[in-house]
């Protein structure tokens, strides 16, 4: 029998039991419970210590990651590369699919089946919702969703939760305000779902046409999460412990005029932030295009650059987990 992720759990071997994420795909945050998150936080914390103390080490020596990006990326792509290299592994980068056989019409399924001949794990960013699940079905090696259109961005949500944990110490009891393009923002879709594992209050602040999808609000309501929608920030900013700002996702709009009508809806700057708590944090998945003024960057509450760094440790943890080393 060929051993792959589809039949791994039926094998009478001990190894996969001690490494529960060995061979698994990471497609949606729905795969995680609080216990799994605690585990990821602990491993990520350990990775941070290891990087601080020894920089690079050989946990994944000889392993290869295929980094397959059909959409632009700076952080996700480079932090997965850095994560693999910090763990002693190497990377096949396909950041410009136009130079690959995708431009000749090769399907996503065939592309991942090709890459898994050469790599041990595939990281995929793609413009279509559900693409990561399709790729995972086609592949025998683990597939990690690095963003599927307006669907999910699970590894971002994991690093967001880790950021909150490291910066504030806990998630229970917090009031989290998600601001901006909540309709198209895959990071807030994943983050809201992940936060629903905790006892949090969630505020949604967006223009009317960019509201959080009602299905997602319903999903969280079933779990007993208190959620409130606003069009302006001033009503809920003073109670907020985590303000999560997002970019209006220009590339998801059918026409330029609609984008222009909402693009500058909210701008966080030192004046706005006078109304916020002294001890709270401002996060952003980045890139920003004007929704947080650079004048706020030196405020200790500005956590978005630290958030990017936490992403490295979380992605090291996830790679070690799916490759059976954590």
**How far is 123 from 136, CA to CA, in rounded Å?**
10
Which of 48, 126, 153, 193 binds ligand ASP (CB under 6 A)? It is: 153
Closest distance between ligand ASP and the C-beta of residue 184, in Å?
Answer: 9
Cis before 287? omega within 30:
yes
Closest distance between ligand ASP and the C-beta of residue 269, in Å?
Answer: 19
Closest distance between ligand CP and the C-beta of residue 131, in Å?
Answer: 15
Task: Indicate whether 126 belongs to the interface with ligand ASP (CB under 6 A).
Answer: no
Task: Indicate whether 44 belongs to the interface with ligand CP (CB under 6 A).
Answer: no
Task: Indicate whether 73 belongs to the interface with ligand CP (CB under 6 A).
Answer: yes
**How far is 167 from 165, CA to CA, in rounded Å?**
6
Task: Indicate whether 74 belongs to the interface with ligand CP (CB under 6 A).
Answer: yes
Which of 48, 63, 141, 186 binds ligand ASP (CB under 6 A)? It is: 186
Specify the residue, 150 or 276, whose C-beta has the smaller distance to ligand ASP. 150
Site string for ligand CP, 238-277 (x = CB under 6 A): ----------------------------------------
DSSP string, 231-263: S-STTTGGG-SEEEE----GGG-S-HHHHHHHT
Residue 247 binding: pick among ligand CP, ligand ASP, none (C-beta 5-8 Å cut-off by kind): ligand ASP
Q: Is 161 helix (H, G, I), strand (E, B) or coil?
A: helix
* Cβ atoms of residues 288 and 302 within 8 Å: no
Task: Indicate whether 147 belongs to the interface with ligand ASP (CB under 6 A).
Answer: yes
Q: For the chain, what is the radius of gyration of the CA atoms?
A: 20
Task: Indicate whether 75 belongs to the interface with ligand CP (CB under 6 A).
Answer: yes
Task: Indicate whether 28 belongs to the interface with ligand ASP (CB under 6 A).
Answer: no
Q: What are the structure tokens assigned to 287, written together?
A: 């890139």
Residue 186 binding: pick among ligand ASP, ligand CP, none (C-beta 5-8 Å cut-off by kind): ligand ASP
* Cβ atoms of residues 28 and 157 within 8 Å: no
Binding residues for ligand ASP restricted to 233-272, rule: CB under 6 A? 247, 249
Most distant CA atoms of the chain, gap in Å: 64
**How far is 184 from 153, CA to CA, in rounded Å?**
12
Q: Tell me which residue of 75, 67, 126, 114 sits closest to 94, measured CA to CA.
A: 67
Residues contributing to the site for ligand ASP (CB under 6 A): 147, 153, 186-187, 247, 249, 285
């Amino acid at each position: 029998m060929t051993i792959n992720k589809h039949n791994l759990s039926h094998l009478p071997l001990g190894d996969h039991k001690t490494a529960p994420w060995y061979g698994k795909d990471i497609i949606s945050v729905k795969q995680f419970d609080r216990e799994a998150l605690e585990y990821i936080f602990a491993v990520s914390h350990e990775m941070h210590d290891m990087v601080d103390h020894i920089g690079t080490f050989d946990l994944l020596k000889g392993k290869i990651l295929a980094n397959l990006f059909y959409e632009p990326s700076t952080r996700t792509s480079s932090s997965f590369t850095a994560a693999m290299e910090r763990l002693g592994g190497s990377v096949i980068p396909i950041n410009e699919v136009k130079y690959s056989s995708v431009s000749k019409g090769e399907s996503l399924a065939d592309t991942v089946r090709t890459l898994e001949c050469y790599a041990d794990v595939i990281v995929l960013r793609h413009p279509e919702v559900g693409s990561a699940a399709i790729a995972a079905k086609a592949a025998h090696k683990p597939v990690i969703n690095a963003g599927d259109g307006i669907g999910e961005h699970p590894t971002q949500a994991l690093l967001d939760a880790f950021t909150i944990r490291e910066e504030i110490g806990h998630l229970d009891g917090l009031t989290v305000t998600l601001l901006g393009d909540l309709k198209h923002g895959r990071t807030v879709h994943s983050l809201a779902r992940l936060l629903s594992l905790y006892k949090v209050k969630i505020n949604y602040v967006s223009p009317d046409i960019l509201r959080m999808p009602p299905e997602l609000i319903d999903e969280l309501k079933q779990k007993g999460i208190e959620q409130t929608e606003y069009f302006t920030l001033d009503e809920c900013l003073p109670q907020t412990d985590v303000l999560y700002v997002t970019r209006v996702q220009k590339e998801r709009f059918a026409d330029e005029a609609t984008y222009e009508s909402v693009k500058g809806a909210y701008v966080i700057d030192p004046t706005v932030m006078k109304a916020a708590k002294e001890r709270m944090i401002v996060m952003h998945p980045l890139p920003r295009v004007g929704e947080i003024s650079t004048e706020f960057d030196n405020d200790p509450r500005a956590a978005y650059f630290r958030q990017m760094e936490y992403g490295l440790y979380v992605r090291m943890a996830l790679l070690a987990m799916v490759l059976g080393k954590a």
